[in-house]
Amino acid sequence: MSDAPIVTQLLYVVAIGFFIMSLKGMSEVKSSRQGNYFGVAGMMTAIVATLIAYEIQRVDLLLVAIVIGVVVGSPIALKVPMTAVPQRTAMSHAFGSLAVALVGTAEFYQRAPNVDPYTVVVLSAEMILGYLTFTGSCIAFCKLQGIIPGKPLIYPGRTVVSLASLGIAIALGIYLALFPGQEFVLPIMAAFALLFGFLLVIAIGGADMPTVIAILNSYAGLSAAALGFVLDNRVLIVAGALDGSSGLVLGLIMSKAMNRSFRNVLFGGVGATTVVSEKATQSGRTVAGYTVEDVATILENARNVVVVPGYGLAVAQAQHVVKELADILQSKDIDVKYGIHPVAGRMPGHMNVLLAEAQVPYDQLWEMDKINSLFPETDVVIVVGANDVTNPAARTRPDSPLFGMPILNVDKAKTVVFIKRSTAPGFSGVDNELFYLPNTMMIFGDAKKVLADMVAVMSKS
């Protein structure tokens, strides 16, 4: 880059400025679309700056690739249902990291064997990160799409096997730095990195996917930044660092909200081991089921209602019925809010998008920390499609696997209406204390049907 013309270098600085403004714009909904346009402006600036400095040898190939990009990219963006955005995100991590890994590979073949050890070390790191993110993201995509089961694949010694494959990849990278003429080592290194990514994510359960997606996001960014070091390209270094830190922050928020440590998620198996130990507590207690009419009477007399949605709501495709019910309540001058747990959904912020799509105004969407202080003054909470994130055991029972997890304190509300298929435990496999509290009304049935019945009963009165 130091040999690039000054115009290009200056334009790169402008592009970096646009990217920073872009993320800044996302701090609130009002400025968010402007933020996206800043992102587009930054990208265009960076591309123009590059085309000024470098003469493309094969314009034909470039054009073919760009056409493919537009033809594949636009339908993905415009057609994907909002429920499938997590999969699309995993797929785009896969694309991004593979692109970076391939450019790194090409750059190595271009320069070898006359290449200094420093460059090879950075290139190897970049390729290992890129390739492992690629297979990891592919597995995450398959798990989210339901192509392979979400259950973590657990076998004895999996940590040793995973770390060994990563260790071999790193060792081969170092070998390559010392003997850059041995080009045949590169595909072997890539293969072990690919294997590691596969093993890493296959061992992680479906419930932990929000954290995994965020971590893969971070890796994809870091590999882009590493490529920036190799090419001495600062716009790449900054964009990669921004992406890497964004994934890191989101991953930390997710793992904290799920009561997991980063290490815990990465080496997996948490969701699978707790099921057995908690089974015992479920027997011996019975839960009373209520009817839709019972609930309608309670709702009629409420002044304020908080809806707590979980991913089960999206599975039942019940977002629009919830909105209908909320509209009826509001027409009766009952205040309606939505309490959103950070992991309500399959990726960070997913539930907000699903409700926004159902035309729920975003000023009714309340994040966990803010809604929790309001529960003691709330007349009715309707929990639909959520479970573990409402379990008071997370506060009260130190022996529970959920203990310490931040939850929505719905048990503090005057009445809790809990819509559920059965008393089966949630993702964590832990029985929910909430079911047995005197102020809880359980309604068993499909979320969409129960809500539709409520709408029918309420609109009659």
Partner 1 sequence: MMIVLVDASQSDLVVNILIFMMATFLGIELVRHVSRLLHTPLMALTNAISSVSFVAALIVLAEPTSSDTILVLVTVAVALAFTNIVSGFLLTERILRLFKRRDDTKK
Site string for partner 1, 112-151 (x = CB under 8 A): ------x---------------------------------
32 contributes a contact to partner 1 by CB under 8 A: yes
Hey, what amino acid is at 189?
M
Residues 6+ apart with CB under 8 A from 337: 304, 305, 306, 307, 364, 365, 366, 371, 374
Q: Kindly state the smallest distance separating residue 304's Cβ from partner 1, in Å.
A: 15
Residue 288 CB burial class (10 angstroms; 0-12, 13-18, ≥19): exposed
Residue closer to partner 1, measured from CB, 197 or 221: 221
Q: Kindly state the smallest distance separating residue 300's Cβ from partner 1, in Å.
A: 23
Distance CA 319, CA 190 (A): 44
Q: Kindly state the smallest distance separating residue 430's Cβ from partner 1, in Å.
A: 25
Distance CA 292, CA 299 (A): 10
What's the per-residue H, E or C state across 102-138? HHHHHHHHHHCCCCCHHHHHHHHHHHHHHHHHHHHHH
Q: What is the sign, positive or negative, of the torsion defined by CA atoms of 343, 345, 346, 347?
A: negative
Using the rule CB under 8 A, which residue among 127, 200, 212, 235 binds partner 1?
Answer: 235
The angle, 0 to 180 degrees and rounded to 10, between the axes of the packed helices 447-460 and 319-331 is 20
Judged by CB under 8 A, the chain residues 34 through 53 that form the site for partner 1 are: 35-36, 39-40, 42-43, 46-47, 50-51
Judged by CB under 8 A, the chain residues 204 through 233 that form the site for partner 1 are: 213-214, 217, 220-221, 224-225, 227-229, 231-233
Give Cα separations from 350 to 87, 98, 252, 343, 434 (angstroms). 12, 25, 16, 8, 25
> Would you give the end-to-end CA distance of the chain in angstroms?
72
Question: Is the distance from CB of 212 to CB of 204 less than 8 angstroms?
Answer: yes
Residue closer to partner 1, measured from CB, 57 or 286: 57
Distance CA 404, CA 352 (A): 24
Three-state secondary-structure class, residue 410: helix
347 contributes a contact to partner 1 by CB under 8 A: yes
Q: Kindly state the smallest distance separating residue 45's Cβ from partner 1, in Å.
A: 10
96 contributes a contact to partner 1 by CB under 8 A: yes
92 contributes a contact to partner 1 by CB under 8 A: yes
Using the rule CB under 8 A, which residue among 7, 10, 52, 106 binds partner 1?
Answer: 106
Q: Kindly state the smallest distance separating residue 46's Cβ from partner 1, in Å.
A: 5
Distance CA 284, CA 74 (A): 55
Question: Is the distance from CB of 384 to CB of 310 less than 8 angstroms?
Answer: yes
Q: Kindly state the smallest distance separating residue 440's Cβ from partner 1, in Å.
A: 27
Residue closer to partner 1, measured from CB, 103 or 266: 103
Question: Is the distance from CB of 65 to CB of 45 less than 8 angstroms?
Answer: no
| Annotated active-site residue in 243, 333, 369, 388 | 388
Q: Kindly state the smallest distance separating residue 104's Cβ from partner 1, in Å.
A: 9
Hey, what amino acid is at 129?
L
Judged by CB under 8 A, the chain residues 400 through 439 that form the site for partner 1 are: none
Size of the site for partner 1 (CB under 8 A): 110
Residue closer to partner 1, measured from CB, 368 or 454: 368
Hey, what amino acid is at 377?
E
Site string for partner 1, 10-29 (x = CB under 8 A): -----x---xx-xxx-xxxx
Residue closer to partner 1, measured from CB, 21 or 287: 21
Q: Listing from the earlier edge strand, what are the strands of the sheet with 365-367? A: 365-367, 335-340, 304-309, 380-384, 415-420, 440-444
Q: Which stretch binds partner 1 (CB under 8 A): 151-159, 162-170, 235-243, 444-452?
A: 235-243
Q: Is 399 a known active-site residue?
A: no
364 contributes a contact to partner 1 by CB under 8 A: yes
352 contributes a contact to partner 1 by CB under 8 A: yes
Pairing of strands 440-444, 365-367: unpaired
Site string for partner 1, 61-80 (x = CB under 8 A): xx-xxx-xxx-xxx-xxx-x
Residue closer to partner 1, measured from CB, 22 or 390: 22
Using the rule CB under 8 A, which residue among 11, 83, 87, 93 binds partner 1?
Answer: 93
Judged by CB under 8 A, the chain residues 258 through 317 that form the site for partner 1 are: none
Judged by CB under 8 A, the chain residues 239 through 258 that form the site for partner 1 are: 239-250, 253
Count Cβ atoms below 10 Å from residue 73 Cβ, excluding itself.
Answer: 12
Q: Kindly state the smallest distance separating residue 458's Cβ from partner 1, in Å.
A: 20
Active site residues: 388
